[in-house]
Structure 1
């Protein structure tokens, strides 16, 4: 078994992706969210690799050390699922267990729904399995939370991009630490006439799960893209309505492979998905192995509670091995 995380570049679907990988055995893909990178899985590599798995975490298209296609339309959910399916083949595997957090969870759920032949099992952290091909969401989000809701704020090309890229380290520190500084889950809403980070001030100290070295690692990878440091990730949000239109033929698909869902009780997603809605969404997982709720845990699930997340993943993987 490789005893260290190794790095290399591959090309899938015409896009160069950076991979971090460790271990040998059945393939486990780890998909990060926004604004993160492969590094958000730093606590998962060794435990999963030691258990006999080949662990691969890409920087997804547009992020960190991976290439950043120019066109906004190059970041639809179909492109992202296509990257995962092509990556499985590129890695010489017939199937993979796909694990995702935040946006990575959306990609993981969609890959499992659209290509169950390639997915042995799927785990989503933070974001539940929203259906593919539902109604375009932006109008409903604006009606519910206003134009200041962060996903609506992201829609204008260049605006959030410039604000976040002005100081990459500060932006990452403020988002990772300040989206819910008091532990109360609530939507992230920009005040009228304000800027994106107005509601997330610099923290007085870092949380126990995040160090200055961690921030430096994230920031160094993001800074590679200069004033477009965050543009790739923001372009994912700029395809929300387009995703619904493109995936309309697949509306109603359920996730028919074994599944695990884990989320923190203080996750901001909880403010947007009440318990009855969550129960309905988890009903799309007929082979749900477990729904893990993590107390005193916010949005950054696998970084905040690595021991519990690793234990849940290993238990899930064992069930897949029979």
Structure 2
């Protein structure tokens, strides 16, 4: 369905039992709502109703032009406004990559709207900030962001039929081509990259502690997030907390290990 919020139009894929507890699904880069397709059967089988939001930059009707419109507070406000438009007072939240960053912010700033939080791959923003300050290895892991923020990023990522994008996501097999192909849609890749262009360390450091029951899922083969950042996240949750380490799994957890993620999320949700 299309949801109008904050002067934009967001695509939201709704599925599962109509009377089930609601779950908000927040995707990351360079994917969209489809990255959760492989966990949906298990969530729906457990009786949950899912709302998979294509975030700003990805929904065709939600692509503002200014880089400043992609600061983390904007997708945060989008998520709250979409919940309002859907009439959902409180939801379970599952977020991956950039979607995890939005999920952490929701858990910190809007605890009344979040029943439980399952953050996947990317740790709490303050955990990232600490690791960037103290761990040269984490700074090296994030070196790719400079490329994503550059003027040549679109040209580089779309060259040779999206070869770089496909290479980034090689661990998810043929599904990588699906996302790379979608990025050829006019304006979509620029909107997605603007999340990186708008990011600042100050913004990461501005996110407070999460006060809702939380599980953080990290693959120890993730090339972007090191162990120090993953472990630092515990400091920023003042509620029941669990760190789940998936051995041998990389960054694309919802598609590399969908069954494991589904079971972890259901354990956190409590169904």
Task: Give the TM-score of the pair, scaled to structure 2.
Answer: 0.88
Residue of structure 2 in register with 1:38 after alignment:
33
Q: CA deviation at 1:302?
A: 1.1
Equivalent residue runs for 1:120-139 within 5 Å: 120-131=115-126
Is 2:157 the partner of 1:164?
A: yes
Alpha-carbon distance in structure 1 between the residues aligned to 2:4 and 2:104: 23
CA distance in 2, matches of 1:312, 1:14: 36
Q: CA deviation at 1:27?
A: 1.3
Corresponding residue of 1:60: 55
1:222 deviates by 2.4
Matched, 1:149 2:143: yes
Q: Aligned in 2, Cα 1:234/1:168: closer, same or farther, shift over 3 Å?
A: farther
Distance change in 2, residues 1:141/1:82 (3 Å): farther
Tell whether the 8 Å contact from 1:17 to 1:67 is kept in structure 2 after alignment.
Answer: yes
Which residue is 1:304 aligned to? 256
> Counterpart of 2:195?
236
Residue 15 of structure 1 is matched in structure 2 by 8
Q: CA–CA distance in 2 between the matches of 1:14 and 1:132? A: 33
CA contact (8 A) 1:62 1:232 kept: yes
Match of 2:223 among 241, 246, 268: 268
Aligned length: 267
CA distance in 2, matches of 1:143, 1:224: 32
Between structures 1 and 2, the one with greater helix share: 2
Over 3 Å counting, the alpha-carbon distance change for 1:91 and 1:64 in structure 2 is closer
Q: Distance in 2 between matches of 1:268 and 1:306?
A: 19
Distance 1:244 1:133 in 2: 12
Q: Which moved more, 1:44-53 or 1:294-303?
A: 44-53
Contact preservation (8 Å) 2:138, 2:225: no
CA contact (8 A) 2:39 2:258 kept: yes
CA–CA distance in 2 between the matches of 1:51 and 1:143? Answer: 37
Matched, 1:258 2:258: no
CA distance in structure 2 between the aligned counterparts of 1:59 and 1:131, rounded to whole angstroms: 25
- Looking at structure 1, the residues matched to 138 and 129 of structure 2 have their Cα atoms a distance apart, in angstroms, of 17
Change in CA separation of 1:70 and 1:216 when aligned onto 2, cut-off 3 Å: same
State the Cα distance separating 1:280 from its structure 2 match: 2.9
Distance 1:145 1:309, change over 3 A: closer
How far 1:62 sits from its partner (Å)?
Answer: 0.3
Q: Residues 1-38 of structure 1, C-alpha deviation per residue, up to 9 Å, x if partnerless?
A: xxxxxxx2222212221111211222111111111111
For structure 2, list consecutive stretches of 5 or more residues without a partner in the other structure.
none
Alignment gaps of 5+ in structure 1: 1-7, 178-206
CA distance in 1, matches of 2:238, 2:269: 17
With over 3 angstroms needed to count, the CA separation of the structure-2 counterparts of 1:155 and 1:128, relative to structure 1, is same
- Structure 2: how far apart are the matches of 1:265 and 1:313? 18
- In the other structure, the counterpart of 1:116 is 111
Counterpart secondary structure, 1:99: strand
Find the counterpart in structure 2 of residue 217 from structure 1.
178
CA positional deviation for 1:314: 1.1
CA distance 1:114–1:132, change in 2 (3 Å): farther
Q: Label 1:96 to 1:127 Cα distance change in 2 as closer, same or farther (>3 A).
A: same
Partner of residue 48, structure 1:
43
Q: What's the offset of the Cα at 1:217?
A: 3.3
Deviations, residues 212-263 of structure 1 (Å, cap 9, x unaligned): xx345324432222xx44111110011112x725x77x55x21000001111
